[in-house]
A and B are shown apart, each in its own frame.
Chain A
Amino acid sequence: MATVRAVAVRLAVLVGSLLVASFVVFAVCQALPGDVAQQILGEQATPEAVDALRQRLGLDRPFLVRYAAWVGGMLSGDFGSSYLTGVPVGDLIWPRVAVSAWLIGLALLLTPLVALPLGLVAAVWRRHWQGFVATAASQVGMAIPAFWTGLMLVSVFSIRLGWLPANGYVAFAADPAGWASHLVLPVASLTIVQAAMLTRYVRSAFVEVLTEDYFRTARAIGWRRIPGLLRHGLRNVALSVLTVLGLQLAATVVGAIVIESVFTLPGLGSLLLTAVGQRDLQVVQGTVMLLVVTVLVINALVDVSYQVLDPRVRTGDLR
């Protein structure tokens, strides 16, 4: 019962945040200086032509009317049409969602796969060279920006060795091998930075477990260190890893925008960058809103999953 109520409250908070977010996104977009009509018509255009185009695009309507029309449209699945091309925003966004979803999804999947073993090594052998190397590697990984990692990977694996394409994208359905080869470097660049960060958290979480009484007891009844940690420590570590991963989702989305531009992947990030530059506000709003919804929904899912993972949250018996 308590669980159902907690989930309901969390859902209400989610809906509220979405409403506030939509207003903020819209208001910020309207406040951006620059005019799409002027942009379309260019420097040769007469002021009358610019006004005529603004009217045609519906930009002369009052702020709240445009906001209501936009939110209303989205509720029925209509994101409006691009000012520049007249193409429905949904048609522009959906083909790119796949690209970004692959990039972000694979990076988020690989991040714990890299960070968990690395963090475990860094914690267990923290007074030995293995642990030192693991810690140092994560420090370096955190210090390097993702775009720079990308550039270095390209210069080594594409230009010098010629193993992988430097950039671009091929759809999975068209050519699975080509798809994989185009994604290796972008996913690696994104994963390295995120995994480095997560490794730090995993390490301290394991170190904490190592000093706990229950772990000493486990060792006393004959569990060896690594199996013991995996059996009795992983669930505790999972909680903090999940929290950090939830927070890292937002960072990964932002990182993906940069990585998409470095590798010229036709994803949401590059769509957003181009649209901002062209002041194609319908596209900007739609894309940002989609990203915001994704992040908020996933954060809500993370919160709900605590209920499942941690009995203390379920019973309200938190220390």
Chain B
Amino acid sequence: MGKLATGRLPGLMVAVAAALALVLTGCSPAASPTSAEKTLTVGATLEPPSLDPTTNSSASIPQLLLYNTYQTLVRLDNAGNLQPLLAQRWDISTDLLTYTFHLDPAAKFASGTAVTAEAAAKSIERIKDADTVSVWANQMEVVDSATAVDTHTLQVTLSRPSNNWLFNMASSAGIVIDPDGLSGLATQPAGSGPYVLDSWTRGDSITLKLNKSYWGTPPRYDKVVFRYFSDANAMNAAMLSGQLDIISNLQAPEAVSQFSDTSKYSVIRGTTNGEVVLGMNHDVAALSNLKVRQAIAAAIDKKALLETVWNGEGTLIGSMSVPTDPWYEDLTGVNPYDQAKAKKLLSEAGYASGLSLRLRVPATAYARKSAEFVASSLKQVGITVTIQELQFGVWYSDVFTKGDYDLTIVSHVEARDVFTFADPSYYWHYDNATFQKLVQQADEASSAQELPLMKQAVKLLATDVAADWLFALPNLVVTRAGITGVPQNATSLSFDVTTIASR
């Protein structure tokens, strides 16, 4: 018996060795295809829940599809300006109500059919249609009619002038969809961009491949794989072990030092549209008092906060505007850090004996770390802050939808979301008639007059301390050395891979 047992051991050893050998041979980079096919592998954090950018608001959908698979009449460039895409040019009538878009006659969908004015009009109508339950219906509210004048000329009439409308046309609301592909958009994109969907392995990755019949300049890569990581560490590990070409946005800025070897990696630093806002509920008695809000803003040293919380990466902004907004100004000087002044303001407001506030934040890295810094800063001036960390879904229903909070910290990632302060029912509960009038005038003004009005409006938010602005999230892209053409700033939600090349 005993002999048999030991006699088996060598056999077992051989099996183990064989398995090990199999494993080791599998280690050589698996991602080297036989032909000269070029593949770019991009790491990202959020997997799209669906592939329809018009009926689901998840930012992961435009990240993957906007400009890569779907195109818009106009697009946002790296500096935040509008550029031609499907429309070669556009005219605006003197009353600012009629927009005439001249479509590129060469443009065609991946299916081979031409991108016509009729298809563009239908895409706009579809967003407006209540049956679609589109996320962007309110962005197309100002549209009275969209009609095809001829095959390549689209005329859109607005019910009132709106600069924001044209801006929104450069994002998900403005994508032109192939009328023949409308039925399966959740799983099969139908656009006119240089890439089409190749495959989707749920929970792992989505692969785009070249649109063989693309009408413009073809991009450099035959395939682009977006790999999704729920864990930021795992994404960094994949990059460090050579499984990725690009980290689309580094989630943990302290990890940037891991990629300091410039012979292997390059780090691109730009800006996003994400303002990390210390939101204040204006329905709460203490916070409806300007002096209390000023005290809170003066009590927090934003520069030290950025160092502590986000490794010094990012931009201090001072109001609801980021450097790629045309009307951006550095407004950090409006409420400078001054704890003595903060204490004085609090006692003037009648809270010399102290004040207690709840700080309810979603369970995300930037919010958790910022919350601790804010709480300790406010404690120094006599405001006791209780931090409550909520799972994102709970934060959404309790804080965002029901408005049950005193203070909150969340990053607002939409472009030009300064307009949220003009809606008194939005969860800030900020109701300032002067501000509302300013942004409406700016929206309806000619482009020359828009800028000074918006500057005034954004400054008003800062002086009125409608909220406190901690910092703007950086766009931290890590690439393998030798990769070029990655957009520096995330001006839209798109991760545009169409210009990326490698040496």
Contacts and interface: CB of A to CB of B under 8 A. Distances in A.
B2 A224 contact: yes
B203 A267 contact: yes
A169 interface: yes
11 contacts: A33-B397, A34-B391, A38-B397, A42-B58, A44-B138, A163-B24, A177-B25, A180-B23, A264-B229, A266-B202, A270-B203
B202 A181 contact: no
Interface of A: 32-35, 38-46, 49, 52-53, 56, 84-87, 92, 95-96, 151, 154-155, 158-159, 162-170, 175-181, 184, 224, 226-227, 230-231, 261-267, 270-271, 273-274, 277-280
Contacts of A278: 49, 393
B49 A86 contact: no
Contacts of A230: 1-2, 5
A87 B50 CA distance: 9
A180 B240 contact: no
A262 B232 CA distance: 9
B144 interface: no
B226 to A, nearest CB: 13
A178 B135 CA distance: 41
B22 A264 contact: no
B186 A86 contact: yes
A190 to B, nearest CB: 16
A85 B186 contact: yes
B240 A166 contact: yes
A41 B22 contact: no
Contacts of A86: 50, 186
Interface residues of B, number: 54
Interface string B110-138: 00000000000000000000100101111
Interface string B23-46: 111110010000000000000000
Given A41-B135, A181-B26, 16 more contacts: A39-B396, A52-B133, A95-B202, A96-B203, A151-B233, A162-B241, A163-B27, A167-B237, A169-B204, A177-B23, A181-B30, A270-B203, A274-B47, A274-B230, A277-B392, A279-B393
Nearest to A225: B2
A164 B228 CA distance: 19
A51 to B, nearest CB: 10
Contacts of B147: none
> Which residue among A42, A53, A158, A168 has the maximum number of chain B CB atoms within 10 Å of its CB?
A168
Contact of B243 (A44, A96, A166, A265): A166
Contact of B2 (A49, A162, A226): A226
B198 interface: no
A262 B50 contact: no
B23 A44 contact: no
B391 to A, nearest CB: 8
Given A33-B398, A180-B22, A84 B233 contact: no
Nearest to A151: B233
B231 A264 contact: yes
Contact of B133 (A41, A165, A267): A41
Nearest to B231: A261
A262 B234 CA distance: 6
Contact of A42 (B57, B230, B237, B238): B57
Nearest to B395: A34
Given A224-B2, A264-B231, A277 B393 contact: yes
Nearest to A181: B26
